[in-house]
Structure 1
Amino acid sequence: MTDDARPAAASAPSPDSHDVLRVVGARENNLKNVTVDIPKRRLTVFTGVSGSGKSSLVFATIANESQRLINETYPTFVQQFMGQLSRPEVDALENISPAIVVDQERMGANARSTVGTATDVHAMLRILFSRLGQPHVGSPQAFSFNVPSVSGAGAITIATGSGAGRKERRSFEITGGMCPHCEGLGTASDLDLDALLDKTKSLAQGAILVPGYTVDGWMVRAYTESGFLDPDKPIQDFTEQERADFLYKEPTKVRIQSINMTYEGLVPKITKSMLQKDRDGLQPHVRAFVDAAVTFMPCPECGGTRLNEGARSSRIGGVNIADAAAMQISDLAAWLATVDDPEVAPLMAGLRDTVGSFLDIGLGYLSLDRASGSLSGGESQRIKMIRHVGSPLTDITYVFDEPTAGLHPHDIQRMNALLQQLRDKGNTVLVVEHKPEVIEIADHIIDLGPGAGRHGGEVRYTGDVAGLRRSDTITGRHLDDRARLKPSTRIATRSLPIRGATQHNLKAVDVDIPLGILTVVTGVAGSGKSSLIHGNVPAFDDVVVVDQTPIKGSRRSSPATYTGLLDTIRAAFAKANGVKPALFSANSAGACPACRGLGVIITTLGFTQTVETLCELCQGTGFSDEVLEYTLDGKNIAEVLALSASEALEFFPKGPAALTLARMVDVGIGYITLGQALNTLSGGERQRLKLAISMAKKGAVYVLDEPTTGLHLADIDNMLGMLDRLVEAGNSVIVIEHHQAVMAHGDWIIDLGPGAGHDGGRVVFEGTPADLVAAGGTLTATHLAAYVAG
């Protein structure tokens, strides 16, 4: 730590005080025995280049241990149903308060989850309509699309005073608001059986074309060994009964190889496993199959509202609950202001406050019926914030992961106000962030580095913003960086014509997107940028889309497996040593027999947490001793997978591996090791990994969705250089972006607005960045002008 980086007394209380959270000897991931004091009830921003150890300190150490200790206070019976957290690698954590993590993980991909249900606003609306709606149709559950309307009779147990009970048959009635036709999903689906089956084949020959239904797998064996069907008969030759049993049979118990299983027709089975799940939450190959095999349309009975006729018939001032849920939230707030009845005064106060939080947080363009799985990572994080803004809890530690992700510069000021509001209520607010606008409002800053990966993991500075500027750290040196407008811009070679675009809030947009240059699409969150680009551009040929959809990754997945590098590396080892490639996979023949390739031994202690310990046999490599004896240019397979992408590029200076590694370095993740577990990468790192493997195609149209997400100020120049190289190689690049440095560097800007939701959806400017600054008149122009002038 530099001399001028010593914290001021006001921002670093005595370590003996309860006003400081103290971390002692943190070694999680790349942290190098970090000891640091964090002031409580202050706003602390953690800075440093991507991979410097910020998340390892804040999330994997502080937040993880706080949540683990809270979980331990519950009875062991309760703990078995909770996510098990392992103790982080740290000597001590002192004066921890309960932590609430507000991250960018997308909200649960549940087809029944909406913005309204995820924030409890819909629950409050249901109470409101059950009180004031006319005609009166019942309790709040009568307005719930997740509660069916059923009645019947059944046996129930009635408790008696002696502790025993007696069974009685009683009638029951559940009066919910679910549409009976679509079962509350709002959509009806039509399955194309020709996409499900090859009717010329038998089940044993692979007639079922659904992903995951392999001939020798359990999914197909439930049909071939059920006794209902002839597995060797072509589907087209099935009798009427066989066809009905195969496609539509109700769940029936069967016994297959001494195992009790449930047999169910293929159509209802697929409907439950794929069609009743949120499309955005499906794996890419499954989503592609669903898109090809299924036609979705609004439910003809409820019109897509999910609600039955009774729920839709009850109104307040001419508005039913489906109308309210479909309103843009800014319009909903205006409607709620007209509802004035003393009977629901306390409810209305809470409802208006919560809806007002949507506006404060910049999400007024959403509607309550929006599927939660369709929200971006930034939108999901801000939705989660709404739960806490009005909370009466104090002395909580709130942990945020880049809360400005997806925000236009115009909206960052409102986000800052919310962070300060949480702090002023007496909470400790910890923020991992790169944006200078957020760093500027920090009470305390902790900068990690100096580099990334094994070159990071150290505290380089603690103190205030003024001290950070004076410090000789990467963050301090780049805090005031500003990109300049380009003196000249490229000229488009051709264009993609978009005509009459009406997706979501777009208002019949006509625009020509220039090709052969770097085009930046701008506008406030909700203005229609993603609707315009993702809703229209992929329909053209040779379009490569790298969006914000997170890649799937388990502890057995790594950058080497995801990029295909491992296949090349295994082949090289096999050729050099005259053995089979499978020997060099920790997921296959080369796995350590003790840990089965995981590198750790996982022990489950009954109902309590699982404990992970380093595998002593393989010392964490995941490979058997036999495999580690084979080498390639002096290194064994474990040593090669421990190389960073930059180091591996020196080890593999040519060939297909070098091309992939060079692209990883190009997009700013050269510090990531080849064998690092994929689920340990941040959202920004995963997106750049996707970008690296997508860059192989030449002469293509690349669509990038906020590629600066998770990038340090010092890395922005590298990203701009990479975009230039893509264009200079003969590609076209379309970037949806909020960062002013990317706007200033573009050849052409398409600005949408003027506002969000129904206040947006129009192209308000087309031209060069210099022309935008000169013309003014839009929010983007105002902030870009201030940026380049600063």
Structure 2
Amino acid sequence: MPPIADSPNGHIRIRGARTHNLANVDVDIPRNQLVVITGVSGSGKSSLAFDTLLAEGQRQYIDSLSVYTRQFFDQMERPDVESIEGLQPAVAVDQNTGSHNARSTVGTVTEVYDHLRVLFSRAGSLACPDCDTVIEQQSPDEIEQAIAAMPNESRVMIVSPLVRGRKGKHSDVLDSARKAGFARVRIDGTTYPIDEVPELGARKTHDISAVVDRIVIREGIEKRLTESVRLALKHGEGVMEIVYQIREDGQKSDEWHERVFSTQFACPRCGASVAEVEPRTFSFNSPYGACPECSGLGISEGFDPELVLPDLSKSIAGGAIAPWRGEAKTRAEKHRKLLAGFDTETPLESWTEKRLQELLTGDGKKFRGLLLELEIEYAGAKREKLREQLATFRGEVTCADCRGSRLGRASRTSRVGGKTIDQVTALTISAAREFFSTVEFDAERAPIAQPLVREIQHRLAYLAKAGVGYLALDRRADTLSGGELQRVRLATAIGSGLVGVMYLLDEPSIGLHPRDNGRLIETLRELQQQGNSVIVVEHEEAFMRAADYLIDCGPGAGRNGGHVVATGTPDEVAASEQSLTGRYLSNHAGNGYREPRKPRKTKRLVLEGATLHNLQDVTLDIPLGLMTCVTGVSGSGKSSLVIETLARQLARQLHNAIAKPGPFRSLRGTAALDRAVLVDQSPIGRTPRSNAATYTGIFDDIRKIFAGTKLARQRGWKIGRFSFNVSGGRCEECQGQGLKKIEMNFLPDLFIECPTCHGARFNRETLRVTYRGKSIADVLDLSIADAVEFFENFANVRRLLQALVDVGLGYLPLGQPSTTLSGGEAQRIKLATELGRPASGHTLYILDEPTTGLHPHNVEQLLSVLHQLVDAGNTVVVIEHQTSVMRSADWLVDLGPEGGADGGRLVFAGPPADIAECQESHTGSWLREHL
């Protein structure tokens, strides 16, 4: 790459950056290049990329908008920097999952589903929701005949829809209805005289219909019916509705029904009519498309059949949770009676689906069904212990009405290429690409469909290129890993075709197998070659070596970091003696390798027959007392096997947890375990009040220490006096936050140091209490490394603090808010919390990609801690792709060979040195080439 001064595209010039721990940084970043910012965890990488570059780019863009428009934006805090020149419009593709909304799917996040909704509404073939016959046009005469054919004395209200699902007061609509001569209107299901309509909420969604006529079905009404139908269709623009009460066998029903008629669509076989199909008809976020039973979620809470009857000998029906004291035998007998007529000795697998359905739901039987009986029992349980026991058999169950599709019946009738929209979204991205490459349309629909299909194919192609082709379009976004969601959003950004933009990415390699790194690098290179600046915060060696320009932050972390140690090409950084990253690039640093331990044959944990998601009857054999690394390409089934099946079953078996594990046949070897601990990637807190001290529980012990001082005892102060979450000892001016939020209307909210406590969080009286010359505010400002020495006489506090130091967090201030922690820092705090607790030597630790956010130097520190756990007799299972972790493991389990439907199989299990000989393993192939 030419020297930065000669770069034809110029550069971004940063001067005096002091955000967080940045130490007055000056740096020039070449524009329209692939730039990687690296450094140890806490060195200031994210502060430079996101809290400085992104924040300033957003501020400059928002400043170009009107004052009125600015108030609708959530703005980042203005960065502490003297100047930034040459900045381009900024787009962040980070690991933030945003709203953990169960309604978001891969299809909605990528906007593929929006295009599908238009495609199915404008170019789909509609079928009857009752008999699956193709819908045809219905004439006014046919509508009249259908109404006249209703039983005599049935009461019918003929209405003409005027407003459907629109917000507003709709005064103009009501005035028009009044001028047209209508005496009554039906609003949101209630009929009013037109002069007595209540004022409608302007921000609420309303349905308004004009009541054309109210009739009773009998002879001699034909002429009146004809006039009313014609009038209703005229005002409803070809659509009308009836609200009716049926009279059958001489009895009047009190139940009112509704039916829609349209001159556009009607079933020629059964006469069923549907309203006009619109894009919102296929939206599960709209009442017009969502399944009414689950409100568009596809799931509900209830008794899970798989938990109730996994095995008759161990099920609730077989009395597994007995004794329940007192009523135990009665309940067990009651549930056994429900099994009458079924052979309880027959394995569950051999029962027909129909018979099992009858048993569970009561279909075809006189009894109500086991699930309903349990729901009644659960709702009526007065004793909390009984409710807790019953709750272990409850969970998220698939909606029985929509079968998880989220859509109502009418939304599942339109077809494209022979598939309904829910069948298309159930496909993986790769399968959807194949489907749309072969789908054909007739001459009438082709001009409408082809532009939509091209756009859908375009987006699917980029998703496949980003390495997520194994994901189904209906996969919930809140079930994606941070890396998966980031790659989905990256594909969306690339597909937009923007140029002259600065893209900032936060460790896009997270969750990605080394085999797929090259594909992702090609995607980023394509984005850069379109004329964009691509700035990546990353530690993965492949990304650093592929960069045009490398920026190494450090030299240490926290107060010891915040400097730019080295810049230049990867080779130039590798030659830098000051750069810790350079030492690893030049192979002058360690890699955490150690000789693997040998497994003990008699002690193993064996999970047999796992079949969750794409797992294909997998048996996981884990040697106890060793470190096992589970690896495989993205989507191969690692999380499904280890987190969603093994960890959840251990939690139920060892800790009486409620979480539902994935289906499996058996689990052996748990008798050798006392505990199972899962350390995942969920955040430790979402408010500034949460910090390392509060999460680990250290702060409770620290408050006890201060409450035990002489001055505190003299004043009668208890432990609550030293909490910033409750009134008493905290500063009431800032409510114990140390900062005051100043709302600036169209400018970003401003946080200033509290003028009363000056950021200390506590009031003046509380701060007079000291221990070893420091107030409680001073203690929270201590680095964790300094706090170890300060509290050396308190074993519990010292042990937890030392665990934080051991995982590389000694630089972190004890009271630093959790909202300012990086993802790697938050996960290591969780790990240290577990490490700081007394271990029995019979604990299984399960870690989900613990190297997230870690520099190779931090990875070595982490491996040292994990091996200490194993040396103490514990078992460690790690889901990981990082090379050092795979090489230093005692046992390697590789799943695959591919992702999605082509994965879910056990490819290899054994010592890491042997996997290179496995021809089917992508992990083995990569290790053969690179090690």
- TM-score (norm: length of structure 1): 0.81
* Structure 1 counterpart of 2:483: 378
Quote the Cα distance in structure 2 between the aligned partners of 1:366 and 1:69. Answer: 37
Please state how far the C-alpha of 1:124 moved relative to its aligned partner.
1.4
1:489 and 2:597 are equivalent in the alignment: yes
* Structure 2 counterpart of 1:475: 581
* Structure 2 counterpart of 1:67: 58
Quote the Cα distance in structure 2 between the aligned partners of 1:406 and 1:331. Answer: 22
1:72–1:566 Cα change, 3 Å: same
Q: Give the letter aligned to residue 544 of structure 1.
A: V
Q: 1:712 aligns with which of 848, 855, 864?
A: 855
Select between 124-133 and 165-174 the one with higher mean Cα deviation.
Answer: 165-174
1:102 and 2:93 are equivalent in the alignment: yes
1:593–1:104 Cα change, 3 Å: same
Quote the Cα distance in structure 1 between the aligned partners of 2:871 and 2:113. Answer: 51
Q: Contact between 2:462 and 2:492, CA under 8 Å: does it hold in 1?
A: no
1:188 and 2:300 are equivalent in the alignment: yes
Q: Counterpart of 1:93 in 2: which secondary structure?
A: strand
Please state how far the C-alpha of 1:117 moved relative to its aligned partner.
1.1
> Percent of counterpart pairs with the same letter?
42
* Structure 2 counterpart of 1:326: 426
1:317 and 2:417 are equivalent in the alignment: yes
* Structure 2 counterpart of 1:548: 681
Q: Contact between 2:637 and 2:904, CA under 8 Å: does it hold in 1?
A: yes
Q: Counterpart of 1:25 in 2: which secondary structure?
A: strand
Alignment of 1:661-740 (within 5 A): 661-695=801-835, 696=837, 697-698=839-840, 699-740=842-883
Quote the Cα distance in structure 1 between the aligned partners of 2:102 and 2:767. Answer: 47
Quote the Cα distance in structure 2 between the aligned partners of 1:763 and 1:120. Answer: 35
Quote the Cα distance in structure 2 between the aligned partners of 1:95 and 1:186. Answer: 48
Q: Counterpart of 2:12 in 1: which secondary structure?
A: strand
1:598 and 2:710 are equivalent in the alignment: no
Quote the Cα distance in structure 1 between the aligned partners of 2:103 and 2:815. Answer: 37
* Structure 2 counterpart of 1:258: none
Please state how far the C-alpha of 1:670 moved relative to its aligned partner.
1.7
Quote the Cα distance in structure 2 between the aligned partners of 1:364 and 1:786. Answer: 25
Q: Contact between 2:908 and 2:918, CA under 8 Å: does it hold in 1?
A: no
Please state how far the C-alpha of 1:733 moved relative to its aligned partner.
0.4
Q: Contact between 1:108 and 1:372, CA under 8 Å: does it hold in 2?
A: no
User: CA offsets per residue over residues 359-413 of structure 1, 9 Å max, x none?
Assistant: 1111011101111111111111111112111222211111110010110001111
- TM-score (norm: length of structure 2): 0.69
* Structure 1 counterpart of 2:510: 405
Q: 2:725 aligns with which of 587, 595, 616?
A: 587
Q: 1:437 aligns with which of 522, 525, 542?
A: 542
Q: Counterpart of 1:656 in 2: which secondary structure?
A: helix
1:672–1:484 Cα change, 3 Å: closer
Q: Counterpart of 1:158 in 2: which secondary structure?
A: helix
Q: Contact between 2:806 and 2:861, CA under 8 Å: does it hold in 1?
A: yes
* Structure 2 counterpart of 1:11: 4
1:166–1:157 Cα change, 3 Å: farther
Q: 2:28 aligns with which of 14, 34, 37?
A: 37
Q: Contact between 1:11 and 1:464, CA under 8 Å: does it hold in 2?
A: no
1:434–1:484 Cα change, 3 Å: closer
1:388 and 2:493 are equivalent in the alignment: yes
1:151–1:70 Cα change, 3 Å: farther
Q: Counterpart of 1:420 in 2: which secondary structure?
A: helix
Please state how far the C-alpha of 1:107 moved relative to its aligned partner.
4.4
Q: Give the letter aligned to residue 183 of structure 1.
A: S
Q: Contact between 1:18 and 1:95, CA under 8 Å: does it hold in 2?
A: no
* Structure 2 counterpart of 1:339: 439
Q: Counterpart of 1:23 in 2: which secondary structure?
A: strand
Select between 751-760 and 176-185 the one with higher mean Cα deviation.
Answer: 176-185
1:191–1:136 Cα change, 3 Å: closer
Larger Rg: 2
Quote the Cα distance in structure 2 between the aligned partners of 1:151 and 1:614. Answer: 62
Select between 759-768 and 173-182 the one with higher mean Cα deviation.
Answer: 173-182
Please state how far the C-alpha of 1:441 moved relative to its aligned partner.
1.2
Q: Contact between 1:157 and 1:166, CA under 8 Å: does it hold in 2?
A: no
Quote the Cα distance in structure 2 between the aligned partners of 1:694 and 1:682. Answer: 19
Q: Contact between 1:623 and 1:638, CA under 8 Å: does it hold in 2?
A: yes
Quote the Cα distance in structure 2 between the aligned partners of 1:555 and 1:520. Answer: 35
Q: Give the letter aligned to residue 586 of structure 1.
A: F
User: CA offsets per residue over residues 586-640 of structure 1, 9 Å max, x none?
Assistant: 3333323433322223222344432222233333222222233322112222221
Q: Counterpart of 2:709 in 1: which secondary structure?
A: helix
Q: Counterpart of 1:567 in 2: which secondary structure?
A: helix
Select between 615-624 and 497-506 the one with higher mean Cα deviation.
Answer: 615-624
* Structure 1 counterpart of 2:172: 158
Please state how far the C-alpha of 1:13 moved relative to its aligned partner.
5.0
RMSD in angstroms over aligned alpha carbons? 2.8
* Structure 2 counterpart of 1:297: 397
Q: Contact between 2:907 and 2:920, CA under 8 Å: does it hold in 1?
A: no
Q: Contact between 2:25 and 2:564, CA under 8 Å: does it hold in 1?
A: yes
Unmatched segments (≥5 aa) in structure 2: 130-158, 164-168, 186-207, 210-235, 237-274, 282-287, 305-378, 380-387, 655-674
* Structure 2 counterpart of 1:198: none
Quote the Cα distance in structure 1 between the aligned partners of 2:56 and 2:393. Answer: 46
Quote the Cα distance in structure 2 between the aligned partners of 1:630 and 1:419. Answer: 55
Quote the Cα distance in structure 1 between the aligned partners of 2:583 and 2:877. Answer: 30
Quote the Cα distance in structure 2 between the aligned partners of 1:550 and 1:615. Answer: 27
Q: Counterpart of 1:440 in 2: which secondary structure?
A: helix
Please state how far the C-alpha of 1:482 moved relative to its aligned partner.
6.5
* Structure 1 counterpart of 2:375: none
Please state how far the C-alpha of 1:159 moved relative to its aligned partner.
8.5
Quote the Cα distance in structure 2 between the aligned partners of 1:573 and 1:166. Answer: 79
Number of residue pairs matched? 673
* Structure 2 counterpart of 1:767: 910
Alignment of 1:750-761 (within 5 A): 750-761=893-904
Please state how far the C-alpha of 1:646 moved relative to its aligned partner.
1.2
Please state how far the C-alpha of 1:716 moved relative to its aligned partner.
1.7
Quote the Cα distance in structure 2 between the aligned partners of 1:776 and 1:519. Answer: 21
* Structure 2 counterpart of 1:563: 696
Alignment of 1:505-520 (within 5 A): 505-520=614-629
Please state how far the C-alpha of 1:317 moved relative to its aligned partner.
3.1
